[in-house]
Each structure stands twice: as C-alpha cells, then as structure tokens.
Amino acid sequence: MKQYMAMMALAGISLMPQAAFAQGGYPDRPIKLVVPYPPGSGTDTVARYAARRMETALGKPVVIENKPGGNAIIAAQTVVNAPADGYTLLWAANGPVTTNVALYEKLPYNPLTDLEPVARLAYSPMGVYVPADSPFKTAEDLFAEAKKVPGKLNYGSGSATYNIATEWLMSLVGAKANAISYKGSSPTLTDLAGKQVDFAIAEYSAGLPLVKGGKLRMLALTSDRRMKSEPETPTLQELGYKEYFQVAWWGIFAPKGTPKAVVSRLESTLLTVFKDAETAQYLEQNNFSAFTGTAEQLRAFQKAEIDRESKLVKRFNIPKL
C-alpha cells in the first residue's frame, strides 16, 4: 500500500509541470489546422475565418493545411497520428467524425476513441443543384426523371455526408441515381457547372456564388427554413418530404490524449469567438449559422449523429464503402 501511494505521489508530481506548461505556455509556436476539403469549399471558408480569429486570441499563427481526399480519411488520420500536444487540430465537418462511421465497413481510425472533441461551432444548409441550363426547372422535374429511368442520372458527391444525403433523398422519392465521387464540394460543383454530372447536393455557401454567377440553378434546400439570400428556393420539407433534414456542421477535434488544459484553452477561445458580434455578422453575410457547443456537448452530438446516420444507411439500404 505504501509503495502504491508513493507511486501515485510521484505520478502527481510528474504531471504538475505538464499541466502548468499547458496552461501557461500554450501555445508557444504555430498551430496547424487540418481541413479535409480543398480551398473554396464552405468548410475551408469557415476554417480560415476561425484560424484568423484564433491567431488574434492566442497570439500565435494558425496555419491551414488542406488535405482533401478519401472521404476526409486522409485528414483525419493526419490528426490522429499527430502528437497530442494541441499543435495539430482537425477542422471537422460531418464526414470524418460521424458519417464515415455510418458508411464505412471498416475505418483506419475511430473518431470516438482516437480524437478529442474541442468545440462545436457552426452549420450551413445544403442545396440541391443542377446546371443553369438544365432541363430540370424544379426539384419535382429532377425527381420525375430519376424515377422514370432508374440509374440514368449521375450525381456528384463531395464526401460521404453528401452520399448519404443524396441516397436518402433518392430513397424518399422512389428514385435511383449513380454516385460520382469528388474531393469536396468545390470540384463537385465545378464539374456540375460543366455538365459532367446531372445534379448534386452540396453546401449552400459553396454553391450560392455559382448560382449568382449564372452557372448553377438551386432547386431546393435541405434545411427546415428558407434562406434570406435565396427566398424563392423552397425546402425539401415544403415539397412534401417532411422528415428530410440535413446540414453541414463544423467543429474542432484534437488527437486523443491532448492535455485537458490545452483543450480547455482552445474550447474557451473558440466559443468566445463564435459567440461575439463580429462572428455573428460574418456568419450571416456568408450564409452560415452559429452552432456553438462545448467539448462535452460536441461529443454527445457526435454520438447522436453517428446513431442517426447509421440508421439512415440501414433503413434505405445505402451501400457501405
């Protein structure tokens, strides 16, 4: 017993400098924020805003590193395998921390045990898009064609999240289309504008500039309310698909084992930033919404989303990857 108590005391002493360093010395060098999608996507846009505000608040550079591909698995593994010191963080959308669990038979990482939640921050609706000169003038036109000739139409999918979102919608309307995979929303929408695919579900914020530029037409929204910037575009719920609701959301995760003091510093910094007036204005102007939550709330939300999306995959027989 004495030996055990002595060991515990020594352990406590050995941990004190680390905790003190984490609180007083972090950060003392640049932080890398790994983004799973390419520049120009809604995910990348919000990440760059967050990085700029983090730099100001923390007093050290926050460098964006885009690592698209593999349905965000490449980016997730980069962070999972990084030192657990708070200097490599994952700017996570749905894909790497929830959807991949539901859609993949086997992942090379476990987002519930290999990643530490830091904070939940924002969300954006998705849009159903077609090329500007598509014969499909409405969502009903698109659905009718997809039902008439199953498998005739191709859709672009920028991640596993959009794969589930589209397959769920096709199941609800009784249709079938073929998935063409891309490394994020930006290349998906570029090819859609070039008529390489027939339609796509993608981030509202990424598609809106192409809609305004006359390259794409937006047929419907996946959220439960219309957007001020496109008031004529209906939601899928308004079109009769009452249960359909899908948004892109974002938060930050760290490697498992990152010191609690570091996580707490990042959590408080990020929540302060995403609750202030400057961020509220930025989010509104860029068609995002605040969706703040603590590390604990992010973990609970993550688990609920994994459960919800796993049930969708099973219910609608969405093929596993």
Look at residue 173 and give its three-state secondary structure: helix
Is residue 15 domain-shared with residue 79, that is, in the same domain? yes
Note whether residue 204 is domain-resident. Answer: yes
Is residue 172 domain-shared with residue 115, that is, in the same domain? no
* Polymer length in residues for the chain: 321
Q: How many domains does the chain have?
A: 2
Is residue 96 domain-shared with residue 7, that is, in the same domain? yes
27: preceding bond cis by omega (within 30 degrees): yes
Note whether residue 226 is domain-resident. Answer: no
pLDDT digits (tens, 9 = 90+) for 204-233: 988 999 999 999 999 999 999 999 899 999
Is residue 35 domain-shared with residue 140, that is, in the same domain? no
pLDDT over 90 for what percent of the chain?
82
Is residue 132 domain-shared with residue 267, that is, in the same domain? no
Average pLDDT over residues 83-88: 98
Residue 15 predicted with pLDDT over 50: no
Last residue in a domain, options 172, 203, 221: 221
Is residue 114 domain-shared with residue 254, that is, in the same domain? yes
Is residue 78 domain-shared with residue 214, that is, in the same domain? no
Is residue 161 domain-shared with residue 177, that is, in the same domain? yes
Look at residue 179 and give its three-state secondary structure: strand
CATH number, domain containing residue 153? 3.40.190.10
Gap between the Cα atoms of 164 and 303, Å rounded: 17
Last residue in a domain, options 203, 221, 239: 221
CATH number, domain containing residue 114? 3.40.190.150
Which residue range(s) make up the domain with 309?
2-123+247-315
Phi and psi, residue 237, nearest 5°: -65, -40
Is residue 210 domain-shared with residue 147, that is, in the same domain? yes
Q: Given this model, what pLDDT does residue 22 score? A: 43
Note whether residue 321 is domain-resident. Answer: no
Note whether residue 195 is domain-resident. Answer: yes
Q: Given this model, what pLDDT does residue 319 score? A: 83
Is residue 100 domain-shared with residue 198, that is, in the same domain? no
Average pLDDT of every residue of the chain: 91
Gap between the Cα atoms of 271 and 295, Å rounded: 10
Note whether residue 116 is domain-resident. Answer: yes
Per-residue tokens: 57: 């608040």
DSSP 262: H
pLDDT digits (tens, 9 = 90+) for 155-169: 999 988 999 999 999
Is residue 277 domain-shared with residue 131, that is, in the same domain? no
Note whether residue 229 is domain-resident. Answer: no
Band of pLDDT at residue 24, cut at 50, 70 and 90: low
Last residue in a domain, options 187, 204, 221: 221
Tell me whether residue 170 is exposed, middle or buried, using C-beta atoms within 10 angstroms of its C-beta: 0 to 12, 13 to 18, 19 or more: buried
Q: What is the DSSP string of 27-70?
A: -SS-EEEEESS-TTSHHHHHHHHHHHHHHHHHSS-EEEEE---G
Is residue 255 domain-shared with residue 119, that is, in the same domain? yes
